[in-house]
């Protein structure tokens, strides 16, 4: 290392000293030697800004200027790269744009911000000739964005399928393991720190949609925001869904799915969606348990590839942030930013590809009806499906309800168009002997 002593360090300023920020400070301190060996010069955390100056984060900050002045940090000539770890769409956006405007490179883990305002932020960065890097935004410590953007750049990407949210994967794994209801498992997940006090973004699939929007943009060169993606979370799944999934040879996962489609005339479209999915129990994604994440990417040259690891957490996420810092630091030393466009495609190559509607999906579906246990109910349900050309592969109804009580009736359909299944469900759910909205769970066989 002494051979590199003459090369000046690249300076880093960190805004937001929460869990990930603390991890970044730790990785930069603990791995300083290997980072310097790999770069050929040191990476120095020169300044931190956070509103909380009191909490002991368990890391030595004595050599680092630490105050609440984020404007001062951005303007500081010793800071070459600004790390934004505040999160959210509001202040984080202002800080990111201010840093870019000041000619600073930015590293962020903020998927929400980029999945909504990516075009504006990347455009501003291009205008200023600075980089915006965000490996930590998808899959925490898993370097899946770099894999899609660079390692697989020679491919036409066919599909990206992933378990993109650790909180929901933990809840689903626990519901399956214990047979407990969603609310009980979620409460325990919150007590153990796996789920936030306000779990909305995670359990309703929004966090996964943020991540899928970024992955799909990179994979297909598609201009998209997360609001374009049909999103269904894991609320409303019942213990019986897990029992039936096991019986049928599947496991339940919240999948982010993005596929490249072509119309008959060859024009491209994207099928992108987030929803609970039954996946074959022996598939690799089915066996990703607890808070882990995994992303399967298939390219026309490489075939299927799989990326697995910790999707959140202090040190795994910091690993991705510091990897980005190193990449940008190399560019700074090289004297030229923008080696690879943030979304893999230069901004002028990104196109607004039409999205396929979920009604167009074709496949087998799991349907859970909740109906009064009366003669004729089953005939009505199968009739409504049959009239629309939806065949039934199997029917399950266990037990017998007292007069006036409901029972779950589960059906597995033959491959059918989802629009037809939805129409049948609409009709079925209007009938007075159906007491709860019917739940449809899609089955993904090709994993
Ligand atoms: N809340 C996310 C998850 C981690 O549960 O996976 C941050 O993206």
Model confidence at 413, pLDDT cuts 50, 70, 90, reads very high
Tens digits of residue pLDDT in 16-63: 999 999 999 999 999 999 999 999 999 999 999 999 999 999 999 999
CATH number of the CATH domain containing 39: 3.40.50.720
Structure tokens, 234: 């894991």
User: Which pTM value belongs to this model?
Assistant: 0.94
Domain assignment of residue 3, yes or no: no
Angle at which helices 166-178 and 182-191 cross, to 10°: 120
Q: Say whether both 150 and 297 belong to one domain.
A: yes
The pLDDT of residue 433 is 92
Structure tokens, 235: 């609320």
Ligand 1 — pocket residues by CB below 6 A?
Answer: 165-167, 202, 207, 311-312
Structure tokens, 269: 């479209």
293 Cα nearest atom in ligand 1? 6
Exposure string (b/e) for 285-308, b if CB count within 10 Å is 16 or more? bbebbebbbbbbbbbeeeeebbbb
The residues annotated with a catalytic role in the active site are: 211
| 133 strand-pairing partners | 107
164 Cα nearest atom in ligand 1? 6
Is the separation of the CB atoms in 153 and 220 below 8 Å? no
- What is the pLDDT averaged over residues 363-379? 94
Percent of the chain residues past pLDDT 90, beyond the cut? 89
CA-nearest residue, atom 4 of ligand 1? 312
- Between residues 88 and 442, the one the model is more confident about: 442
The backbone region for 11, taken as left when phi is positive above 0, alpha when psi lies in -120 to 50, beta otherwise, is beta
The pLDDT of residue 6 is 67
Cα of 225 from ligand 1 centre, angstroms: 18
Tens digits of residue pLDDT in 159-173: 999 999 999 999 999
The pLDDT of residue 374 is 87
Cα of 247 from ligand 1 centre, angstroms: 30
Cα of 110 from ligand 1 centre, angstroms: 11
Mutate to test the pocket of ligand 1, among 114, 144, 173, 207 (most ligand atoms within 8 A of CB): 207
Cα-based distances in Å from 295 to 226, 305, 314, 358, 406: 18, 8, 20, 21, 39
Tens digits of residue pLDDT in 309-360: 999 999 999 999 999 999 999 999 999 999 999 999 998 899 999 999 888 8
Q: Say whether both 263 and 149 belong to one domain.
A: yes
Q: Say whether both 45 and 176 belong to one domain.
A: no
**CA–CA distance, 293 with 288 (Å, rounded to integer):** 7
Model confidence at 301, pLDDT cuts 50, 70, 90, reads very high
Q: Say whether both 115 and 132 belong to one domain.
A: yes
Question: What one-character-per-residue DSSP string does 161-203 give?
Answer: EEE--HHHHHHHHHHHHH---HHHHHHHHHHTTSS-SS-HHHH
311 Cα nearest atom in ligand 1? 6
CA-nearest residue, atom 2 of ligand 1? 165
Taking the alpha carbons of 202, 70, 96, 85 in that order, is the dihedral positive or negative? Answer: negative
The pLDDT of residue 1 is 42
CATH number of the CATH domain containing 399: 3.30.70.260
- Tokens 């089953």 locate to 378
Cα of 58 from ligand 1 centre, angstroms: 23
- Total domains, the chain: 3
What is the residue-averaged pLDDT of the chain?
95
């Amino acid at each position: 290392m002494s051979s590199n002593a003459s090369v000046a360090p690249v300076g880093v300023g960190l805004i937001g000293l929460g869990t990930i920020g603390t991890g970044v400070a730790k990785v930069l301190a603990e791995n300083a030697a290997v980072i310097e060996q790999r770069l050929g010069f040191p990476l120095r955390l020169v300044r931190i800004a956070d509103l909380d100056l009191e909490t002991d984060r368990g890391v030595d900050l004595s050599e680092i200027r630490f105050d609440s002045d984020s404007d001062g940090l951005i303007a500081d000539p010793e800071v070459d790269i600004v790390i934004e770890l505040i999160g959210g769409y509001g202040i984080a956006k202002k800080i990111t744009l201010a840093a870019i405007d000041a000619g600073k490179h930015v590293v962020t883990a903020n998927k929400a911000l980029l999945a909504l305002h990516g075009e504006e932020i990347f455009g501003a960065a291009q205008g200023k000739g600075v980089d915006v890097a965000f490996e930590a935004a998808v899959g925490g410590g898993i370097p899946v964005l770099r894999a899609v953007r660079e390692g697989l750049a020679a491919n036409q990407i066919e599909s990206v399928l992933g378990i993109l949210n650790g909180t929901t994967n933990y809840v689903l794994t626990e519901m399956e393991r214990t047979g407990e209801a969603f609310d009980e498992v979620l409460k325990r997940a919150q007590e153990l720190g796996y789920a936030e006090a306000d779990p909305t973004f995670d359990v309703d699939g929004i966090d996964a949609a943020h991540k899928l929007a970024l992955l799909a943009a990179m994979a297909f060169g598609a201009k998209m925001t997360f609001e374009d993606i049909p999103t269904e979370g894991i609320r409303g799944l019942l213990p019986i869904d897990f029992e039936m999934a096991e019986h049928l040879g599947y496991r339940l996962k919240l999948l982010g799915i993005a596929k490249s489609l072509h119309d008959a005339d060859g024009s491209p479209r994207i099928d992108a969606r987030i929803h609970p999915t039954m996946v074959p129990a022996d598939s690799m994604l089915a066996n990703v348990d607890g808070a882990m994440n995994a992303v399967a990417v298939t390219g026309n040259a490489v075939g299927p590839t799989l990326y697995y690891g910790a999707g959140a957490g202090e040190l795994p996420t910091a690993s991705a942030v510091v990897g980005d810092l190193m990449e940008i630091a190399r560019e700074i030393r090289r004297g030229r930013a923008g080696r690879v466009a943030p979304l893999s495609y230069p901004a002028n190559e990104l196109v607004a590809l039409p999205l396929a509607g979920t009604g167009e999906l074709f496949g087998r579906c799991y349907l859970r009806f909740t109906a009064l246990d009366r003669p004729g109910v089953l005939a009505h349900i199968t009739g409504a499906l049959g009239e629309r050309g939806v065949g039934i592969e199997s029917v399950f109804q266990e037990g017998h309800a007292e007069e006036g009580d409901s029972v779950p009736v589960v059906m597995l359909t033959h491959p059918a168009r989802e629009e037809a299944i939805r129409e049948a469900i609409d009709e079925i759910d209007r009938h007075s002997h159906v007491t709860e909205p019917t739940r449809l769970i899609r089955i993904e066989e090709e994993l």
